[in-house]
Amino acid sequence: MELVAKLPTNDKIRTCRLFIKDEMEARNRVREMQRMRQSGATLQRIAEHFDISRQRVSRLLIKYYGSTEIQDLVTITELAQMVGSTRRYINKLWHWGAISPAMVIGHGRTLWEPKTAVTVKSYLDSLTCPVCDTPLSSNRQTYCSYSCYLEAHKYKNEPEYARRQHRQSVAKWLADHPEQARQIEQRKQRKYREKKSLKR
């Protein structure tokens, strides 16, 4: 650090950038070592792949991950298959904070403990259809059937804020298009008169 302090400002910045870059590359290498180890590779095979000693691999894995043992972890796809759900739903539970992966490797690749399946299963079992209150099957996550989906999306079943937003957007469009608004009103009046004459 004393040598860095004596360097001119531009050289200091360049040195710091190189240090950060080297640190990031080192972490990526260790992440890849852990991924290979959890995939079943031996320490010797990992050492040969990175051209370092077996002891160095062992020290790095213990430093960053606490162990060199192959943990009993599953991928998100395997976890989804275990509970009969989808990767998307498991990611949703993760973002809600209901579950969390045991390890994140590389670009968002996650490894999960098998016992997480119990938590996911309990969430799936507690889901019911918001329209008919029927328990959902494993391949459904919001509505029990397409007819319930259509029923839920009818205007009369929309929440009040959605209907208010819709009314505001319609009023704005009618104000911006007075000619079309006049034609729509004429059609409405014509339909009303026709309906009234049929009742007579």
Please give the distance of CA 190 from its chain centroid, rounded to a whole number.
51
> How much is the pLDDT for 105?
67
Do the beta carbons of residue 48 and residue 63 sit within 8 Å? no
Strand partners, 111: 75, 103
Question: Taking a C-beta distance cutoff of 8 angstroms, is the pair 35, 110 a contact?
Answer: no
Whole-number pLDDT of residue 87: 85
Residue 19 banded pLDDT, cuts 50, 70, 90: low
Closest CA to 74 of 57, 99, 97, 44: 99
> Global pTM?
0.44
Q: Quick check: 73 pLDDT over 80?
A: no
pLDDT of residue 4: 43
196 pLDDT band (50/70/90 cuts)?
A: confident
End-to-end CA distance of the chain: 97
- Give residue limits of the domains in the chain: 2-65, 74-126, 158-199
DSSP 92-147: HHHHHTS---SEEETTTEEEE-TTHHHHHHHHHHH-B-TTT-PBPPTT-SS-SSHH
Per-residue pLDDT tens for 108-134?
Answer: 678 788 888 888 888 887 878 888 888
pLDDT, tens only, 42-69: 888 888 988 888 888 888 888 777 777 7
Residue 7 pLDDT > 60: no
CATH of domain 74-126: 1.10.1660.10
Burial of 94 (0-12, 13-18, 19+ CB in 10 A): middle
* Residues paired with residue 128 on neighbouring β-strands, in sequence order: 135
Give tens-digit pLDDT for 129-149.
888 888 877 667 778 888 888
